[in-house]
Amino acid sequence: MSSKPAAADGSRRGSRAKPKSPKPPITLSSPNTIAAAVTKKRYSKTKLGCKTCKVRKIRCDETSPVCNNCIKSGRRCDGVAEPANKDGGLTFTAPLTLTHFRPTQTGWLTPREVAHLDLFRHELVYSIVGHVGTPAWRRLILQAVHEEVALCHAVVAFTALSTSGDAGCDAGLATTSSVAAQSPPQNASRENEFALRHYGKALEAMRHVFRHDDKRSINTALLCTLLCICFELRIREPATALTHLEHGLQVVNSNLHTVDEAITTAFARLDLQAAIFLGIRPPALDPSRVASRIFVFDSVYQEADNALAGLTNRVWTFIRTVADDYRYEDPPQQAVPDAVAARARDIQHSLAGFRMHYLTAGSGSKLDKMLPEQVSLLRIKYLTCVIVMSGCLAREETAAYDAHAADFVAVVDLAADIRARQQQLIPSHATGGTGSFQLDMAVIQPLYLTATKCRCPVTRRRAVRALRAGPDFEGAWEAAVNARIAERVIQMEEEGLAFDLESLRDGELVDVPESVRVHAVDICAEPAQGRATVYFSRRPNGPGTEWEDLQEEITW
C-alpha cells in the first residue's frame, strides 16, 4: 500500500486527503434552503508555540527567542515556551499570576499584625515598587503577601521596622545570621523586637519554601529574598543584603525563563544598584537576557525604563570591567586603545538615541505618552549616565565634567521635582519622616555625583541640601552619609580659593586646580555605627602623575 506524500513544509495534513462530501446546491429562490457550513481546515498545534501563532491558528516554527512567522508578518511575538526540565534538577515554575497562589493565609494574624499588614498594603508597598511602578508589580506583591506565610512574616517585620523610628541606630539590631538564635538588645524598642521576631519566622518559613517542589516555590522564595534585602538595608547591613542578593541572582540566572518577569526586573535593578554602589563589582545579570523576558509592556514608561536600565547596565559593565583599568592606572602607561574608545562612543551613541526616542518632543517621540513624574525620573537617570560616561576614560577632571555644568543644574532641579511629586503621590510612611526608605535608586546617587563632580559652588551646595532633605535611604544609598562625604570633598577642593558665593549664579564654574580635585572616593562604611573610613584619591602633581590617597574617618 503506497503512503501519501508529505506536505512541503513537513506538517501532517491528513484532513486534506479525505474525500470531500458533495455540497448540496443552494437555491436562492427558496427561503427555507439552509446554506452549507464552510469549515476552515484544522491547523497542526504545537506544544511550545507562541501565543500569537495560536491566536492566528497557524503552526509556529518554535524558533527562539521569537518565531519566524511573527518576524515575517511584522507582529509582536510573545516568545516560545521552554521545554520542561528533564534532568531532575531545580524545578522550573510558571510565572506568578493571580491563580498561582493558595487562598489567603492571614487568618492566624493578631490585630497588631493585621494593622502592620494594612499599613504595608496602603503605604509601605510603594517603598518597594516605587511611585511610578507598574500596577501589575504592586498587585503581585500584595497577592503573594496574603497567600504565602513566609512573605507575610517578612512584610510584618519590614513594616514594624519602618515604623519603629530607630532602625539601625547605635543600639543596633541583630544581623541575619543571628536573628533566629539571639535575643535583641535590651534597649531596643518593642517595635524592633517585634520586627526581629517576625523576621526570624520569615527566615524559618523560607527554609520550608525551598524544600517544596511546587510550581510557585522559586518565585515565592525570590519574593522572600527581596523583602529580606529590604530588611537588611533598613537596618544598615548592606553586606548581609548583598549576600541575599547574590543568592537570589543565582536562582534567577538558573531559572530565567520561569521566574516572573516583574521579579526578574526587580533583581536586575538591585544587581545594577550593587554594581554602582560597590566600586569593584560589575553587573551579574545580562540585560539582553532580562529584556527577552518582557514581551508586552504595560506602558510606554515601562518600555522606556527597561531600555534605560539596559543602557545603564552597559555603562557600568564597561566602567567596571574596562574603563577603570585605564583611568586609575598608576602611573598611566599608555593611551586608551582605539577599540576601547570606540566601545565608549557606541554606548554614548545609544544614549543619544534613547534621548531622541523617549525624551525629545517631536514626530515619533513617545514623550507625550508619559506622566510628568515618569519623564523626570527618566531624565535624571539619563543625565547621570551621560555624565558618568563622559568621565569614565578621562584622566583630567576638567575635561571630564566641566562641560556638564548645565546638566548638573538640571539634575538638582529634577531631583526637587521628583521629591515634590513623590510626597504628593505616596503616603508619608513611604517617603518622609525619620528613616524614609525606597528600594529603587532615584535621586541620591545623581545628587551625590553632582555635589562631588560639579565645580559650581552654588550648584553643589544645592545638591547637598537636597540630599539632606530626603529620602533618607534609596537601597544601599544613605543620604546622610553621602551628604557628609560630599561636604568634605567640597571643603578639600575649595580650600584657598577666592570667590564670592553670593554673587555666583547657578551653574557658574570656579577654577578648581586639577591638583586639588578629588578624582575618586572609596568608602568603607559602618552605617550602624554612624562612621566610615574614606579614601580621597588625588593627583597633587597634576595629570598623568602618581595617585595620592588621603584617608580620613568621617562621622554623621
Closest CA to 522 of 531, 535, 532, 533: 535
Average pLDDT over residues 456-480: 93
DSSP for 338-384 reads HHHHHHHHHHHHHHHHHIIIIIS-STT--GGGS-HHHHHHHHHHHHH
* 359-388 confidence digits (pLDDT tens): 998 777 789 889 999 999 999 999 999 999
* 430-459 confidence digits (pLDDT tens): 444 445 888 888 899 999 999 999 999 999
* 166-197 confidence digits (pLDDT tens): 554 443 444 333 333 344 444 346 888 899 99
Q: Does the pLDDT at position 483 exceed 50?
A: yes
Question: How many Cβ atoms from other residues are within 10 Å of residue 28's Cβ?
Answer: 6
Cell, residue 284 = 551579574
Mean pLDDT of the chain: 80
**What confidence score (pLDDT) does residue 33 get?**
43
Q: Which of 33-42, 70-79, 148-157 has the lowest mean pLDDT?
A: 33-42
* 65-100 confidence digits (pLDDT tens): 678 888 788 787 766 654 444 333 333 334 444 444
Residue 407 three-state SS? helix
Instruction: Give first-to-last CA distance, the chain, whole Å.
Output: 91
Q: Does the pLDDT at position 270 exceed 60?
A: yes
Higher confidence at residue 46 or residue 358? 358
Asked if 305 and 382 count as a contact pair (C-beta separation under 8 A), the reply is no
**What confidence score (pLDDT) does residue 360 get?**
92
**What confidence score (pLDDT) does residue 528 get?**
76
Average pLDDT over residues 100-107: 56
**What confidence score (pLDDT) does residue 493 get?**
95
Q: Does the pLDDT at position 524 exceed 70?
A: yes
Length of the chain: 556
Helix (H) / strand (E) element for 531: namely: strand 531-538
Q: Does the pLDDT at position 419 exceed 50?
A: yes
**What confidence score (pLDDT) does residue 8 get?**
40
